[in-house]
Structure 1
Amino acid sequence: MKSILLFGILLITFSISNAQSTEYRTVKDTTIVDNYNHFYVALNGGLHQFYGDVSSDVFFPGSSMKGKIPLSISPKIGWDFNQDFGLRADFNIGSIWAKGNKPNQDIYFHANINDIQAYFIMNMSNIVFPYVYNKRWNLTFFAGAGWMMYRTIARNSNDDIKYVVGYDLNGNKTKKQVERLWSAGISGAYKIAKHLDVTMEVKFNNTPTDKLDGVDIVLSELDNYSSVTLGLNYYFGSKQQEWKWNPIDPFIEKMLDTIKSNENNLVDLGNKVTSLQDCCDAKNDVNQPDDDLDSVPNAKDLEPNTPKGQLVNFQGITIPQLDTMLSQNAGNIGNIGANTAAGPMFFNSIYFPFDQSIIDRENYLEIVRLSQYMKAHPGVKIMISGNCDKRGNDAYNDALSKRRVAAAKKALISDFGFTNKDFAEEALGKRKIFSQNTHWVNRRVDFYIVK
C-alpha cells in the first residue's frame, strides 16, 4: 500500500507542476458550447497484484508462477456530463498468481477473475485549476462498485490440489463464485491528439471474501487486489476535447456576457447624452439671428442664404432631395429606390464599426434621405436588411445584424413618424458577404423597396 500511495503522490505532483506551467484563461473561449455530450471508449492492459493470506512479497509488477503473468485487460466506456464530473463502466478480464510468503506455507494459487463495475469520475485537474487551459496532462479520481466472478485453484509445490473455488477436487470447472466489489483509484491522461489520450491508471479493489486465494481462514484479513494499467482513450461527441481540456467556469462565462451587455448599454447611453446635448444647444440658439430661417443661427450657418423649405444639416448646408439626386445622376445610378423589371433597387446603405449597432451622424444622413423619399411616395414599403462581416460565429452575427436592423427602424419610426407596417425586416448575419477581405463593407444595413 505504501508503494501505491507513493505512486499517487508523484502523479499528483507532476500534474500540478504541469498545470502551473500552462497559460491562464483571460477571455471567453468561443469554442466552448453549452453541450456536455462528451463520450469516450477506452482499452487498458496491465498487471494484477494480490493481497491476502497467500500473497507474494513481491509488489509490482505482481507475482508470476511457473511462467504465468497476472494480466489484466479492461475495456471501458464513459461519459463526461460536464467538465468536472462523469460516469464510467468497466469490464475487467484477468488472472492472479501468487505464492505463500509465510514459513512452512507450501502453497500457490491461480485465480481467473472477471469483474464489471460502475464509477463516478472527478476531474481533479479541472476542479483544482478551473481557469487553466490547453492542459496536456489531466488527472482524475474515480470510485465505484460492482460484482466479481472468479474461480480459484490452490496447489502445493508438487502441484497437488489443496483448495478450490469454482472447481472440483479433480480440477474440473464448476459454477463461478460471485461477490460484491468496491473500487477506487486515480488515472493520469496525456493528450496525444484531438480525440486521443494515453492513460496510466492505478486501481485498488476491495472484496468482502477471504476465498479469492482459495484459503478461507477464520478471523483473517479479507482478500483484495489492485491493478496498474496503461491504455488509450478515444473521445467523440459534440466539441468533446474543449470541455475536458479547456474548461470555463459558468459563473465567469455569465459575467463576461453581462459585461458585454453593459458595454452596449453604456454606448446607447452615451448617444442619448449626445442627443440631449444637441437638443440643448439648439434651444440656446433659438434667440440668435437666423436670416434664412433654416433653424441654424447665422453664427453657425455655413450656407446663410438657403432657399426657404430646404432641409439642412446642423451646419446649415442643404441636404439634397432624393428625387433631385436621382434626376441629376440618372445616367450613373439608374432608378435607385424603385422596383424595376430586374428586381428591387437599393438606396444607399449605412455602415457600422466592428461589433456595433449604433448609427453615427454621417450614416444618419442616409436615414434622412430615405425618409424624404418615403414621405414623397406614401404607401411605399421598405425592406431593412442587416448584415455583418465574416468574423464571429453564426449565432452571434445573426443577433448583431438584428440589432442593426432595429437601430435603423427605430430611427425611421421615432424621428420621422413612420410605423411598423411601412417596413419589412431581415437579419442575414454573415450570409451576404460582399468582400472577403474588406470587412467594413459587410457591416451594413441595406434598404430597398419591396412594395
Structure 2
Amino acid sequence: MKHILLALIIIIVLFEGIGELVAQQIDFYNLEEEQLYNPDKKYNTWSVTAGFGPVVYYTDVNDYALFPSSHWRFGPSFLVSKQFGRPWSVDAQFLTADLYGEKNTRYFSGNFYDLSLNLNVSINQLVLFGPIRDRLNIYGKIGLGVNYFRARQRSLSTGNWITVGEVHSGTPGYPRPYGWAETDYLAIGYDRQNPEEITDRRSEVVVPIGLGIDYRLNKSFDVGFELTLRNLTQDNLDVNLTGADNDSYMAALFTLTYKIGKKNKRHSLWTYKDFNLAYERERQKQPFGRELDSLRQRLDYLAANDSSVTDTTLIYNEIVEQRYVLVASVFFGFDKTEITSEAHRTIAIVAQFMKEDESRKVIVQGYCDERGSDDYNVKLSQRRCDAVVDVLVKDYGIDRSRFETEPVGENELLSNTKELAPNGVHMVNRRVDIFQKIEE
C-alpha cells in the first residue's frame, strides 16, 4: 500500500504545474468552425500510440521505496484507441519489460507482458469543455487486464538458483508456500527442478490506474507522457510467494500518437463543446421557444422573397435629412461570419435591387448578441458587414463604393435576452441589416 501512495504523490506533483495553464483557457468567442464539436458531423476517432520508458517494480524483494538506485528496467508499449465524443475513449494496451529486484542476499529477474483494456476520460473536456490552449489534454485512465510473466530467484553472492527451503525454512516467519517442496527452486514460468528450462508463463489479473498528458503537434500527431500504476491481484511477481502486499509496478512512458483518418479533419478529442448548439437543441424542447423560432423562420422567408420596403426610419441631423429603407436582413450563427445558403438567397435579392438602379447606395449595419466583450463584438459585427459586402462585390460585381458599413456590436439588441430570460431570441441579434440610403 505504501508504494501505491508514494506513486500517487508523484502523479500529483507531476501534474500540479498544469494549474496555471488551465487558468489560461482559450477564448470560446474566437473559435473556428472546425474546433467546435457537432455530434452530427464526422471526426477522426481512431489513433495508435507507441510509448517507451522506465518500469519500476514494487515487490517484497527490492531495496527501495520509490525509485531504484540502479538496475533500471525500460520497456515499450503500444495502444490502439477509439474516441467516443469529446471526453471518453477506450484503448487496448500492450506493455512489456524485463523484471528485476534485489534485497539482502538475493534477487529476482525475468520478464513480463501485459494486455489491458482501459477507459480514459479527458479531465479538461469535462471541466473546461475543450483542450487547454488548443494544445494540451490531461486524462485519467483505469482498466483491467492480464499480466503474463516468468521469474526466478538467485543468490547475489554466488549467482546460484535459490530453493524454497533456503528462504522459507531457514528464515523465521516464512512458512513454506502451499504445494511447493523444500527442494523446489523459486521459479515461475521455469521448471522448478531445472530453472534453465522454460515453461508456460504465469498469468495474473492487473488493474492499471493513472494519469497522462498529450500535446497536439498537428492534426496527425501528438506527443505525451503517461504514468500508470499497475496493480496485481496476487503476490507472485518476485517469486517471494508469501509477501504482505500484492505486487505492483509503475510504467512512466513517453508517447507518440498518430491519429488515424482524413488529414483535413480534427480528432474529436481536440474539439470544444458548442454552447450555441447545446442551447439551440435545448430550445427545441421548449414549446414557446419553438414558436419563436418558427416565427423567425417565417420572417426570414418573407425577407428573402420580398424586396419591397418592410420598414422606414427617419434620421435627422443639423445638415442633411436621411431616410433609411430596410431592404433585407442576413442572420448568422453564434460567433460566425460565414454566409449560409439561406443568407445567399437573401443577398441575391439585394443584388437584384441594387442592379435595377445603379444610383442606389446602401448602409450595411452589423449586430451581435450580448455574449462576448464589447470590443470583440464590435469587431465581429464589422467582419459580418465585410462578409456581406464581399459577396455583393465579388459574386455580383457591384461597385464597393456603393456600400457603407456600420459595426454596431451588441449596443442595439432587437431581442433583449438578458431582460427576457429565459426567453428571448439570440438569433435575431446576430444579423446584418441592409438599408437603402436616400438623401433629401
TM-score by length of 1: 0.57
In 1, Cα distance between the equivalents of 2:271 and 2:295? Answer: 26
Change (3 A) 1:404 1:185: same
Correspondence for 2:47: 40
1:192–1:198 contact (8 Å) kept in structure 2 = yes
In 2, Cα distance between the equivalents of 1:276 and 1:21? Answer: 46
Cα deviations by residue, 1:201-244 (Å, 9 ceiling, x for unpaired): 11111112221101111x62111111111111111335654632
- Amino acid in the other structure paired with 1:39: W
Between 41-50 and 228-237, report the one with greater CA deviation.
228-237
Unaligned runs of 5+ in 1: 279-350, 357-390, 409-436, 445-451
Specify the SS of the correspondent of 2:269.
helix
Cα deviations by residue, 1:167-223 (Å, 9 ceiling, x for unpaired): 123422111111111111100112233322211111111112221101111x62111
1:159 correspondence with 2:159: yes
Change (3 A) 1:263 1:54: farther
2:187–2:195 contact (8 Å) kept in structure 1 = no
Change (3 A) 1:194 1:263: farther
1:440 correspondence with 2:439: no
Q: Given the alignment, which residue of 253, 257, 262 partners 2:277? A: 253
1:76 correspondence with 2:79: yes
For residues 29-428 of structure 1, what are the structure 2 equivalents within 5 Å?
29-31=32-34, 32=36, 33=38, 34-57=41-64, 59-60=66-67, 62=68, 64-65=70-71, 69-100=72-103, 105-130=104-129, 134-157=133-156, 158-162=158-162, 163-168=186-191, 169-217=194-242, 220-237=244-261, 241=266, 243-249=268-274, 252-255=276-279, 264-265=296-297, 268=300, 355=331, 392=338, 397-401=340-344
- Amino acid in the other structure paired with 1:189: D
Q: CA deviation at 1:400?
A: 4.2
Cα deviations by residue, 1:242-293 (Å, 9 ceiling, x for unpaired): 63233114x5423268699589549559979x97989xxxxxxxxxxxxxxx
Change (3 A) 1:440 1:403: closer
Change (3 A) 1:276 1:53: closer
Change (3 A) 1:152 1:242: closer
Cα deviations by residue, 1:376-420 (Å, 9 ceiling, x for unpaired): xxxxxxxxxxxxxxx84xxx7445456789999xxxxxxxxxxxx
Correspondence for 1:431: none
In 2, Cα distance between the equivalents of 1:402 and 1:2? Answer: 65
In 2, Cα distance between the equivalents of 1:189 and 1:277? Answer: 55
In 2, Cα distance between the equivalents of 1:4 and 1:145? Answer: 19
Change (3 A) 1:242 1:443: farther
In 2, Cα distance between the equivalents of 1:22 and 1:276? Answer: 44
In 1, Cα distance between the equivalents of 2:204 and 2:89? Answer: 26
In 2, Cα distance between the equivalents of 1:190 and 1:72? Answer: 22
In 2, Cα distance between the equivalents of 1:2 and 1:221? Answer: 13
1:24–1:132 contact (8 Å) kept in structure 2 = no
Specify the SS of the correspondent of 1:74.
strand
In 2, Cα distance between the equivalents of 1:79 and 1:149? Answer: 25
1:187–1:199 contact (8 Å) kept in structure 2 = yes
- Amino acid in the other structure paired with 2:134: K
Cα deviations by residue, 1:324-344 (Å, 9 ceiling, x for unpaired): xxxxxxxxxxxxxxxxxxxxx
Identity in percent: 18
- Amino acid in the other structure paired with 1:121: N
Unaligned runs of 5+ in 2: 163-185, 284-288, 313-326, 352-388, 397-440
Q: CA deviation at 1:131?
A: 5.6
Change (3 A) 1:89 1:125: same
Correspondence for 1:301: none
The higher radius of gyration belongs to 1
In 2, Cα distance between the equivalents of 1:263 and 1:132? Answer: 37
In 1, Cα distance between the equivalents of 2:78 and 2:209? Answer: 17
In 2, Cα distance between the equivalents of 1:142 and 1:277? Answer: 60
